[in-house]
Amino acid sequence: MRMIEKESAPGKAVRGLNPHVNSFLTIYSQSERSTGGTRGYDPETYVETKLDRNLIPRIISPQTKLVILTGNAGDGKTAFIQHVECLLKERGADITKRTDNGCTFAFEGVNYQTLYDGSQDFEGTACDAMLAAFFNELEGDKPPEGSFTKVIAINEGKLRDFILHKPQYRWLGKQVHHYFNYGSFKPHASLVFVNLNLRSVVSINEENGSLFDLLMSKFLQPSFWEPCSSENCDDSDSCPIRHNIANFSDPLRGAEIRRRLEHLLLAVHFRKIRHITMRDLRSILSLILFGKLPCSKIHEKLAERVLLIGGFYYNAVFSGEEKDRIAQLLSDLDVARVSNPKLDNFIHFHSPDDPEMLDLFLPVESSYQADIPHLLFLYENRPQGTQDTDPDRRACAQLYHASMRRKLFFEADESKMIAAGLPTWKDMLPYRRFDRFLEVIEAGEDSGGVLRDQLTLAISKSERIYNETVGREYLCLSSTGFRRIQTKSFYGFPATDFEVIVKDAGNQGEFLEYMPNCLFYRHCDKSAELEIPLDLFEILCRIHDGYVPTASEIRTFFLNLEMFKRHVTAKQSDRIFLTEDDTNLFEIKSDQSAQLVMSKLGG
């Protein structure tokens, strides 16, 4: 769509090609140019983490013989190993052999061997043969000896299959077995196991910067953006990329915009649909900050007056048309789709440059208004009255409305929104219990069992027990699934037999930035456990408040709940509740003389 319909005249050459942009575009998983930046070690954008601070000293220690890195594809295993190789080479290591899957080198009298991927064949060598050669010095029934250190990245499943059932790895097999099966197990001093699947790229601790903060700071380094200044680029005031960088870097509003973006990624983390890897994080930040167009294409489109509203960061965050996995999950949280009637009405009657609209935004050190012409075009080309059914005008109205909601989510001043009687940025999210969820995660415990009692009542209500006292004091689970039975019966389990816990990373916390991604409601004997990610937490809290879930929500969120109920109902219950009409409730239990007693319970 063009902002002004006219033929483009041949223009003069435009100054302003930032060489870093082409490199950054390859970091995006769906890049149209190349995805070469999605894999391996990139010195320009590599960020140092706990691995660098705590694991590298262990690798260099002569006592260490084997370091095993596991995790998902994209967790940064190869990048870390290659970073270690570069670091030690700078310190004088002698590289003796290098392949695309690892290298061997000597450093301070110790022979090192690295393997980037121990889970697949390489250049005609079968995976098992490659692993047999790699683990050769760790065979036997005693701890390894010698001047060597091996570092390997391998899939957990492959590690189990290769090591656990081979007699030659008796000692190593025992270590691997105990590591996988006993959470508190501390490996031998010569071994280090690191599961990068536990690493969190986001954090709720604002004092210690998260991996998100570190990577964002890398991308925003001023040296990368000198070619985009007005002295070096003719379109600097119109470029979406410079607009994005300027807003995220702004001394007055930049930190708050970054905080709100991380809040969205926190929601993705807590939904527990997909583990966010370093590759995922690099990819989505590349899309948000740089889009998909190189500088030359941006110059062309600006000269042709093409509408580039999708290139501004607040729209890129919620780009549901992208196939990137994190982009898809962020689009599920699109603030443009949440109902806020008063805000919708305000946006409809105010242009983007209206003083009343502009007054709602956070203060800014310099004015970045590259998006205003695009927003104005959409605003001025909306339908002219209810009889105007032109599809292009309707599309403009929808896009303007969505764009302004997203822009306000990131850039609106919270106090000004409240003063105007408009929803704050948190009110624009599709979650109402996010802060409560976050509060328990941050505390690491359910103080006083308050949340336990609330979840107990919510689960009881999901079973159609509406007596709040009974439903809070007992976890009530239906004893039958037959709907035609008039009298319904429920097993009752004391709420005090359950607890809400937040799991930690154990020994892995030494090497990983970790933040829990869900809560657990479990029986105190640990025989039954319900995993509660953010979506299920939200539904249970609504049920607690009287909401009746739809059939679709039950299918989507209640599978884990059904499995949990089966484990609990396998236990012996000391009482049964009966009802015919969901209102009158009767309790059957045994008294001190082992006689069954039935009594009617109050409302």
Q: How much is the mean pLDDT over the chain?
A: 92
Domain C-terminal end among 198, 232, 250:
198
User: Is pLDDT above 60 for 125?
Assistant: yes
- Residue 1 falls inside a structural domain: no
What confidence category does residue 581 fall into, taking pLDDT thresholds of 50, 70 and 90?
confident
pLDDT at 601 over 90: no
Can you tell me the mean pLDDT for 452-472? 92
> Is 186 among the domain residues?
yes
Q: Do 331 and 317 touch, CB atoms closer than 8 A?
A: no
Lowest mean pLDDT, pick from 363-367, 572-576, 590-594: 590-594
Please report which confidence band the pLDDT of residue 93 belongs to, taking 50, 70 and 90 as the band edges: very high
> Residue 481's pLDDT is what?
60
Quickly state the pLDDT bin for 5 (edges 50, 70, 90): very low
**281-302: average pLDDT:** 96
pLDDT of 165 reads 86
Q: CA separation (Å) from 348 to 166, 392, 402, 423?
A: 69, 17, 11, 15
pLDDT attached to residue 37: 87
The tens digit of pLDDT for each residue in 345-361 reads 999 999 999 999 999 99
Closest to 248 measured CA to CA, from 221, 283, 275, 230:
221
Residue 532 confidence (pLDDT) above 90: yes
Residue 391 in domain: yes
Q: Is 8's pLDDT higher than 50?
A: no
State the burial class of residue 332 (Cβ atoms within 10 Å of its Cβ: 0-12, 13-18, 19+).
middle
| Lowest mean per-residue pLDDT among 32-36, 77-81, 227-231, 405-409 | 32-36
315 has a pLDDT exceeding 80: yes
Q: Which residue has the higher pLDDT, 192 or 35?
A: 192
| Residues 438, 418 share a domain | no
Q: Which residue has the higher pLDDT, 387 or 484?
A: 387
Instruction: Compute how many other C-beta atoms are within 10 angstroms of the C-beta atom of residue 330.
Output: 24
Q: Are residues 241 and 224 in the same domain?
A: yes
**Are 385 and 451 part of one and the same domain?**
no
User: 45 lies in a domain?
Assistant: no
Domain range for 153: 50-198
User: Is the pLDDT confidence value at 470 over 50?
Assistant: yes
Q: Closest Cα partner for 294 from 42, 29, 24, 39?
A: 24
Question: What pLDDT score does 9 carry?
Answer: 43
| Phi/psi of residue 405, nearest 5 degrees | -65, -45
Q: Please determine, for residue 1, whether its predicted confidence score (pLDDT) is greater than 70.
A: no
Q: Are residues 167 and 142 in the same domain?
A: yes
Are residue 222 and residue 83 in the same domain, yes or no?
A: no
Q: Is the pLDDT of residue 552 over 80?
A: no
- Judge whether residue 521 has pLDDT over 80: yes
Same domain, 159 and 33: no
pLDDT at 466: 87
**Residue 337 DSSP class:** G
Q: Judge if 440 and 569 occupy the same domain.
A: yes
pLDDT, mean of residues 268-280: 96
399 with 445, same domain: the answer is no
Does position 603 have pLDDT exceeding 60, yes or no? no
- At 13 the pLDDT is 58
| The pLDDT of residue 2 | 67
Say if residue 194 is in the same domain as residue 205. Answer: no
Give the model's pLDDT for residue 3. Answer: 66
- Is the pLDDT confidence value at 81 over 50? yes
- Count CB neighbours of 593 within 10 A: 6
Grade residue 487 by pLDDT with cuts at 50, 70 and 90. Answer: confident
Last residue of a domain, one of 397, 428, 459: 428
Same domain (yes/no): 242, 153: no
pLDDT at 367: 77
The predicted pLDDT at position 99 comes to 94
Number of structural domains in the chain:
3
Same domain, 457 and 335: no
CA dist 142 and 468 (Å) reads: 60
Confidence of residue 313 (pLDDT cuts 50, 70, 90): very high
Percent of the chain with pLDDT over 90: 80
Return the closest-CA partner of residue 311 out of 370, 240, 371: 240
pLDDT of residue 7: 43
Asked if residue 6 is part of any domain, the answer here is: no
Q: Is the pLDDT of residue 396 over 60?
A: yes
pLDDT, mean of residues 436-441: 96
pTM summary value: 0.93
Q: How confident is the model at residue 582 (pLDDT cuts 50, 70, 90)?
A: confident
Q: Where are the alpha helices (DSSP H) in 420-467?
A: 434-443, 450-462
Instruction: Give residue 47's region: left, alpha or beta (phi > 0; psi -120 to 50).
Output: beta
Q: Are 105 and 55 in the same domain?
A: yes
Average pLDDT over residues 283-301: 96
pLDDT at 560 over 90: no
Of 395, 428, 461, which marks where a domain is finished? 428
Q: Torsions phi, psi of 477, nearest 5?
A: -125, 130
> Of 233, 257, 342, 323, nearest to 284 (Cα)?
323
CA distances from 44 to 37, 150, 226, 318, 426 (A): 11, 27, 16, 27, 34
For the cut 90, the answer to whether the pLDDT of residue 228 exceeds it is: yes
Answer whether residue 472 is part of any domain: yes
**Residue 9 in domain:** no
DSSP line for 270-299: HHTSS---HHHHHHHHHHHHH-S--HHHHH
Report yes or no: 400 and 379 within 8 Å, Cβ to Cβ.
Answer: yes
The lowest-confidence range among 51-55, 140-144, 463-467 is 463-467
Quick one: pLDDT band at residue 562, thresholds 50, 70, 90? confident
Q: What pLDDT is recorded for position 296? A: 93
What is the arithmetic mean of pLDDT over 530-552? 90
The pLDDT of 398-402, averaged and rounded, is: 97
Give the per-residue pLDDT at 584. Answer: 85
Is 13 part of a structural domain of the chain?
Answer: no
